[in-house]
Amino acid sequence: QTGQSSNRGAFIVVEGLDRSGKSSQAARLLERLQTANIPAKLMKFPDRTTAIGKTIDSYLRSESDLDDRAIHLLFSANRWELATSISSALHSGTTLLCDRYAFSGIAFSAAKGLPYDWCRAPDISLPAPDLTLFLDVAPEVARERGGYGEERYEKEEMQRQVRVMFQRLGEETSGSGGGRQRWVTIDAGQSIQAVEEDIWRAVEPLVHGVDNPLERLWE
């Protein structure tokens, strides 16, 4: 326990394919933190409530069309417009859970065929997560869970490519920060309870705050 010396909340990101259980698990984790009286907040990207977010929403529902690079930059801009609130929440001691982040940005656009390094560039210098939980599930298992939705990208072949990109991001992001693993792959094909326990095991060491300064992504 390092409770009394902690100086900021932890930044925890949940990533994965569509239908990997991210949103449900993030909600369960938020509830668990709140029950333990840990100040916590849940964010989600894309944040469809902002002006940029509304443009993204309309693109995802195929109500509008945009150049692949233009939509990629808007997803990144949607993170940048919230970067200050991310760091202020963390510095005020709030543990921040984030349902998707820059890794989704790269994985989905690179899966469409855009160059990986080009995709990564606009997200360089965003607040860096202390921990990224990758909820890994085979696309065919994800599909069997009530099927993919109607939005763009929610097709099995696309999801297969996205998973390959996430695996590459995991390899490049693994390694430790502050003595902890920065990227943890969770077997999201297990039962909801087993996934929740695996997540808690990874998150628990961070929930009383972290001492190391907030870093910037890929700097």
Site residues, ligand NYM (CB under 6 A): 18, 45-46, 60, 75, 100, 104-105, 108, 153
Angle between the 192-203 and 22-35 helix axes, to the nearest 10 degrees? 60
Pairing status of strand 176-177 against strand 95-99: unpaired
Of 114 and 214, CB closest to ligand NYM = 114
Min CB(153)–ligand NYM separation in Å: 4
Min CB(212)–ligand NYM separation in Å: 25
Min CB(170)–ligand NYM separation in Å: 17
Member of 9, 14, 15, 18 binding Mg ion (CB under 5 A): 18
Residue 185 interacts, among ligand NYM, Mg ion, none and using kind-specific CB cut-offs from 5 to 8 Å, with none
Query: Do the Cβ atoms of 50 and 138 come closer than 8 Å?
Result: no
Amino acid of residue 195? V
Which range of residues in 17-25, 110-118, 122-130, 202-210 is near Mg ion by CB under 5 A?
A: 17-25
Angle between the 156-173 and 102-111 helix axes, to the nearest 10 degrees? 130
CB neighbourhood size of 157 (10 A): 9
Min CB(43)–Mg ion separation in Å: 16
How far is it, in rounded angstroms, from Cα 47 to Cα 75?
9
Residues that bind Mg ion (CB under 5 A): 18
